[in-house]
Copies of this chain bind each other. A is one copy, B any other.
């Protein structure tokens, strides 16, 4: 790809696919999907509305459908699997690994699920059962239950031979697990060491104690750890310290990127499962919830203004300046909120550095409040030429921006204590505070200074 290329690779593919669709070029479409790998196929399917997508599925090579299904967004998977018969599902999951089978069965009817279970290879079934035994939001549900385990005292050469004879190591394996007879994890050996170290050495000489995750840890907590430790392969153990699976690089990517996505979506009032091509009614409904919550806060702000009709009635300039007060407080607060939410996600805020952070934000609020309240005051003086109005707006902006920054620290910390995700509701609570404080201080001061 050249430096000045206008499109990313996926956009080029997408445009090509659209062209084939426009020309109703069946042979072209077939050829297009034969060339794509599983991931690109999934991304292409996600880039079309449901109706076109139904058409496109017809051109996906049938031996890839299972893997593609495991890869696409959950709602798309559910839409597709919904229409399948038992034999379709059985056909599709042939050759899938346990993680993929579990993903497909997750969205299938209970009846189909039970029948498919019964027809699975014993090996795969056991692994799928392990995965399905976990809640949806814990690490165990995301792990690969298949690991390559060896005992202590084995030579590297023997490990290599053992792998070749038994066809171990799938595409994703990264390390060899050294376990005792109870499957307690003693250490891991990287493939790099398995290759580069003297082959007569035993695994004990080069194994190391890896960072592990507990199978019942919440994925959101795991995401923070995986990110701050930059891990790309992690053994998963249960509460007894026994090895139950591993997180492969793609599992880690899934966990960390979903978490980052979720923060972004939650901060803008978008629900977890909404994607670009979520159907109209589904989007409207899921966003409606947030609009409703926002309406409550907006009417709270309105109620505050409603307390000051006397002064508003007399000085119309106040109504003109109201949005400036609310807006400056809102931005200042959300800047703080974003920084604090990121810090919390990375586990960097705990104990007495909260006080430092609080002081920092207070001073940032005060200094920016000072600068910008004077700027707003100057503009107001030029505009209205009324020193009392200027005094009122200057003070109100200063108060609201200082309070906004403190609220930007306190709100996520309090929400976290209440075990509410700060990214999910922090922005709404913050806006309520900055609107209420903004209008209260602005119109309250106006009543005191101008009206009285």
A residues whose Cβ falls under 8 Å from a Cβ of B = 1-3, 7-11, 14-15, 18-19, 22, 39-40, 43, 46-49, 160, 163-164, 167-171, 173, 190-192, 194-199, 213-214, 216-217, 221, 224-225, 227-230, 232, 239, 249-250, 253-254, 256-257, 260-261, 263-265, 267-270, 274-281, 283-284, 287-288, 290-292, 294-295, 297-299, 301-302, 305-306, 309, 312-313, 316, 318-324, 326-328, 331-332, 334-335, 337-340, 342-343, 346-353, 356-357, 360, 363-364, 367-368, 371-372, 375-376, 379, 431, 435, 439
Contacts and interface: CB of A to CB of B under 8 A. Distances in A.
A228 B371 CA distance: 43
B267 A348 contact: no
A156 to B, nearest CB: 10
Given A275-B339, A338-B268, A367-B280, A327 B298 contact: yes
Given A264-B267, A276-B357, A302-B320, A372 B295 contact: yes
Contact of A250 (B168, B232, B253, B257): B232
A14 B331 contact: no
Contact of A350 (B11, B196, B284, B379): B11
Contacts of A264: 260, 263-264, 267, 338, 342
Contacts of A49: 353, 356, 360
A112 to B, nearest CB: 28
B346 A321 contact: no
B40 A229 contact: yes
A42 to B, nearest CB: 9
Contact of A267 (B168, B267, B283): B267
Given A22-B352, A40-B229, A268-B335, A291 B368 contact: yes
B309 A10 contact: no
A283 to B, nearest CB: 5
Given A228-B39, A249-B249, A339-B270, A46 B348 contact: yes
A76 to B, nearest CB: 12
Contacts of A292: 372, 375
Nearest to A311: B316
A8 B324 CA distance: 40
Report the 9 A-B pairs with minimum CB-CB distance, sorted nearest first. Answer: A10-B347, A276-B343, A260-B260, A268-B338, A47-B348, A319-B319, A232-B249, A298-B327, A11-B350
B192 A173 contact: yes
For A254, A281, A291, A375, the residue with the greatest tally of chain B CB atoms inside 10 Å of its CB is A291
B335 A290 contact: yes
A298 B22 CA distance: 44
For A173, A230, A312, A349, the residue with the greatest tally of chain B CB atoms inside 10 Å of its CB is A230
B261 A350 contact: no
Nearest to A224: B8
A55 to B, nearest CB: 14
A369 to B, nearest CB: 9
A321 B331 CA distance: 21
Contacts of A263: 264
Contacts of A268: 267, 334-335, 337-338
B280 A298 contact: no
A261 B342 contact: yes
22 contacts: A3-B214, A7-B350, A8-B225, A9-B225, A10-B225, A14-B350, A15-B351, A18-B353, A164-B195, A164-B196, A164-B199, A260-B264, A261-B342, A269-B331, A269-B335, A277-B356, A277-B360, A291-B368, A291-B372, A305-B319, A313-B316, A327-B431
Given A9-B225, A164-B199, 14 more contacts: A3-B216, A43-B228, A43-B348, A265-B338, A268-B334, A287-B335, A288-B368, A294-B327, A305-B319, A305-B322, A306-B320, A312-B319, A323-B439, A327-B435
